Structure 1
């Protein structure tokens, strides 16, 4: 099969959507399929190899990390893509990608699917506080329903997100396919080297968060957790591996809470090396976002055999429901810090959770999830061919 994926965001803009696209492209390629990708140009060279087409794009006011494909630029590339016949179009985001995906699907008479990655309702209060909450939610649900009903299948990364989308009144069939991850037989990375580089003592209790530093991630919560943990573990250290618009605010809060010796901000770490070292160095991965439709970083932590404490909300709840390699907590810093403390004080429990984590991560391998997505494509293509034949029979 030849698949065309279209997205409004991709690397170097680091996000769960970008990671999902890369994972499925690599997995589908291993299965022998060709996957083209149409994305906005970020003004830097991509190392993604052939099949990635960057449309001229403009910056979005107030969102410096984002780009928006220009209509003329996307049209020029679409004309070239027409010379490479595609069997199915996979829309990854609901903005320009949605428009071009539906346009090309109609023009080429091929099926289109939409991945609904983001729980936009949870973002309204963080990014658009001037919009009344009820009005914002009503608007998002109406737009989502219209966009989902305009495609042949909707892909969501978790059961919880399938329930959310179905609750919008979407009539299109919904398939749950989490994004897969690479699961090595044994963890990569060197924790001792990471601790040495950052001046962290070998036995110093170390908590790690990895991801964007953004309002919807609920990260001040982790500062409150660190404030409580230091009372029981005076040398505890919390690392933020990532960057984003909330970093200045979090750094200021860290100073105001007197946590400068207990919290460090590392910025983005290279996913294949430095981040793997960080996973091996840490004793516990902590995650408090309540807006994740899957929480891929949790799978990465599990694959690194790093135990997790998280709040079981939306897609995170799906993963914690296995009760393997992780512990769930209510959205209360006292309860959350108590769960962390139990694990940090018990080396045998940490070892057992680490073993469970590896086994659970293997269930979400990139190859297995890509095979499931390929079957969805094949079903849609077969259905489209049958429908085309029936139309010809009626016309004949």
Structure 2
């Protein structure tokens, strides 16, 4: 099949959407499909080097910064129009839209022109996110706008892909009637069999005996890293050498650093920024005695699966998509979204080498259910069904 993917975000912008696109596109390419991704140009040398090694075609379009979200980019309208003309000249079996902005508009227009089927992944729980980016608007208004926009956008495509059953229920409450299929993003299990926690600790002067927690996340308000800092503050009395490693970058980092200062945690928290996903990030995961996570807005929670695959014991809340990942998981302790209960579960894990070993051993087996090959086959089957349906219904 000839597959066109469209997104307003991709690497070097690090987030779950970028990871999902890469995982599926590479998997489909390995199956023998031709995949083309249209994404913003971030203007970095590393971007150009990485694009040539992805295993599928990437078309970068010039973009500009967004004033309220400087990490992201908005594809320039003139260049989008030129790209649309070129893409119309090619034949596509399916158009897969990943974001609801200019990529969505482009996909819908192309589908209307060529009669190609469209599918869109609902990656992000926008109702919970939008208020952080438009703080000057009342929360009830931003939630209402997010619901209405979601309903409008979802009704513009033939089918939706949703990463978890919980997100399907949210869209049902919105009144979305577009057919949906639950296909979580998988991970390449082979990429998550390595990592050396001892090497990471040695490189950063962390004693092998020091109790250490780790999280991997974009640093934004909705990821709830501040909650984890409160948990660390609660635990320091019982574990005076406790260290919390934070891997990731984002707009909430200055505030989080202030919280560290206010709580007196300067000697207990270290920020490491974005780490290389093939090397140092794996080491960072494995440097932790436990992986901690408390985001209430995930449509899935890929970092939990990555921690499982690497054999890192997990303490996490189970809300929205993380509830699906952690259901029946034997590698995690599930805590209430409450500082006291979360800290109690972390303390239990830190005090018991036997429990840590038990959870660590179960992790890779838990992760097998989320392998990228199986998820890719499910996506391939959906594409084939959509393409066949459109062959039977001539474009009007």
Partner of 1:189: 195
C-alpha distance in structure 1 between counterparts of 2:367 and 2:146, whole Å: 33
Asked whether 1:180 is paired with 2:189, we answer no
Partner of 2:323: 317
Partner of 2:122: 116
| Alpha-carbon offset, residue 85 of structure 1 | 1.2
| Alpha-carbon offset, residue 183 of structure 1 | 0.7
> Any idea what SS the aligned residue of 1:266 has?
strand
> Any idea what SS the aligned residue of 1:38 has?
strand
Partner of 2:220: 214
| Alpha-carbon offset, residue 197 of structure 1 | 0.6
Asked whether 1:268 is paired with 2:271, we answer no
C-alpha distance in structure 1 between counterparts of 2:329 and 2:118, whole Å: 36
C-alpha distance in structure 2 between counterparts of 1:185 and 1:128, whole Å: 37
Contact 2:235–2:343 under 8 Å retained in 1? yes
Counterparts of 1:107-146 in structure 2, within 5 Å, are 107-146=113-152
CA distances 1:37-75 after superposition (whole Å, capped 9, x unpaired):
001111124322351001111211132111111121012
> Any idea what SS the aligned residue of 1:293 has?
coil
Q: Which runs of 5+ in 2 are unaligned?
A: none
Partner of 2:43: 43
Partner of 2:313: 307
Partner of 1:159: 165
Counterparts of 1:6-21 in structure 2, within 5 Å, are 6-21=6-21
C-alpha distance in structure 2 between counterparts of 1:283 and 1:31, whole Å: 37
Contact 2:130–2:146 under 8 Å retained in 1? no
Contact 2:213–2:290 under 8 Å retained in 1? yes
C-alpha distance in structure 2 between counterparts of 1:328 and 1:110, whole Å: 43
Q: Which moved more, 1:67-76 or 1:42-51?
A: 42-51
Q: Which runs of 5+ in 1 are unaligned?
A: 392-396
Partner of 1:394: none
C-alpha distance in structure 2 between counterparts of 1:185 and 1:37, whole Å: 22
Asked whether 1:31 is paired with 2:31, we answer yes
Structure 2 counterpart of 1:293, from 279, 299, 323? 299
| Alpha-carbon offset, residue 185 of structure 1 | 8.9
C-alpha distance in structure 2 between counterparts of 1:380 and 1:186, whole Å: 32
Partner of 2:391: 385
Asked whether 1:245 is paired with 2:258, we answer no
CA distances 1:278-314 after superposition (whole Å, capped 9, x unpaired):
1121110001110111111111111111111111111
C-alpha distance in structure 2 between counterparts of 1:191 and 1:125, whole Å: 37
Structure 1 counterpart of 2:102, from 96, 100, 105? 96
Structure 1 length-normalised TM: 0.96
C-alpha distance in structure 2 between counterparts of 1:73 and 1:213, whole Å: 31
C-alpha distance in structure 1 between counterparts of 2:190 and 2:12, whole Å: 24
Q: Quickly say closer, same or farther: Cα 1:147–1:185, change in 2 above 3 A.
A: closer
> Any idea what SS the aligned residue of 1:309 has?
strand
CA distances 1:312-366 after superposition (whole Å, capped 9, x unpaired):
1110111121232111111111110110111111111111111221111111111
Q: Find runs of 4+ consecutive structure 1 residues off by over 6 angstroms.
A: none
Contact 2:97–2:104 under 8 Å retained in 1? yes
**For the aligned residues, what is the CA RMSD?**
1.4
C-alpha distance in structure 2 between counterparts of 1:124 and 1:12, whole Å: 22
CA distances 1:238-269 after superposition (whole Å, capped 9, x unpaired):
00111111111111111121111111111111
Contact 2:192–2:306 under 8 Å retained in 1? no
> Any idea what SS the aligned residue of 2:60 has?
strand
